[in-house]
Amino acid sequence: MKIDIVTLFPGLFAGPLQESILGRAQARGLVEIRVVNLRDWAEGRHRVTDDYPFGGGGGMVLKPEPLFACVQALRGPNSRVILLDPQGRRFTQEIAKELSRGDHLILLCGRYEGVDERVRQHLVDDAISIGDYVLTGGELPALVVTDAVVRLRPGVLGDEAAPGKDSFERGLLEGPQYTRPEEFRGWRVPEVLLSGDHARIARWRRGQALWVTWQRRPDLLETADLSPEEQKLIEELRQGTQPDA
């Protein structure tokens, strides 16, 4: 998979893309991530990328010409061009999965007051928001999308850390995790996790995943993909039964 990130501030990406899992995925050739400087696609001696908004009002707007020229040069038959945009569809694990199946993403980072509307209407395939708040630019959202997508690519996480157990994978949150020591400041790890009984541990984990989802994000249960056993457990939770500790 290739990901091109188009930005006016390439320096913002150096650290996050080089470290840890994203850095290793690139070093192993599992993904190619390029940061493209939008200014290189602007015409004229001053390489101007933004201008005042028609009709007045404060701030600056990214001009369409450099964005169209840049995307035209990068785009191939399997490319998907995505504008990072607070007005876009809200990013979720489902969208991350959908994007991770693609060959080539081109992520466009807006700045200032945003991009000329003709970019949204005639250049991009999709617009994605990472939440209902406004950031100064699309760079952090592009990193969020890149991180969420790349970790889903085959081979990027080891088998042990495979994403299948993560929160949102089946519409539920993941249950609690513990590591050593067995006792910390008087708080003990649940006994079942030390039992070595894998069937019991698996049952406990399923119960805990339902419990934390019910406690923290009950809205997810309305659309979660639950087995008959899980539906029964939810019914019991609704009636006030606590899961096994």
Catalytic annotation, pick one of 50, 66, 85, 86: 86
To the query of whether residue 154 is one of the catalytic residues in this protein, the response is: no
Catalytic annotation, pick one of 126, 166, 174, 236: 166
Residues that bind ligand SAM (CB under 6 A): 84-87, 109-111, 113-115, 129-131, 133-138, 141
To the query of whether residue 160 is one of the catalytic residues in this protein, the response is: no
Cross-strand partners of 187: 184
Query: Rounded to the nearest whole angstrom, what is the least distance from the CB of residue 62 to ligand SAM in the complex?
Result: 7
Supply angle C-alpha 92, 177, 132, rounded to 5: 25
Query: Rounded to the nearest whole angstrom, what is the least distance from the CB of residue 47 to ligand SAM in the complex?
Result: 19
To the query of whether residue 86 is one of the catalytic residues in this protein, the response is: yes
Tokens 């940061």 correspond to: 35
Instruction: Please identify, using beta-carbon distances, which residue of 128 and 233 lies nearer to ligand SAM.
Output: 128
Instruction: Please identify, using beta-carbon distances, which residue of 54 and 187 lies nearer to ligand SAM.
Output: 54
Catalytic annotation, pick one of 40, 65, 98, 113: 113
Query: Rounded to the nearest whole angstrom, what is the least distance from the CB of residue 51 to ligand SAM in the complex?
Result: 15
Distance between CA atoms of residues 10 and 19, nearest Å = 16
- What residues are annotated to the active site? 86, 113, 151, 166
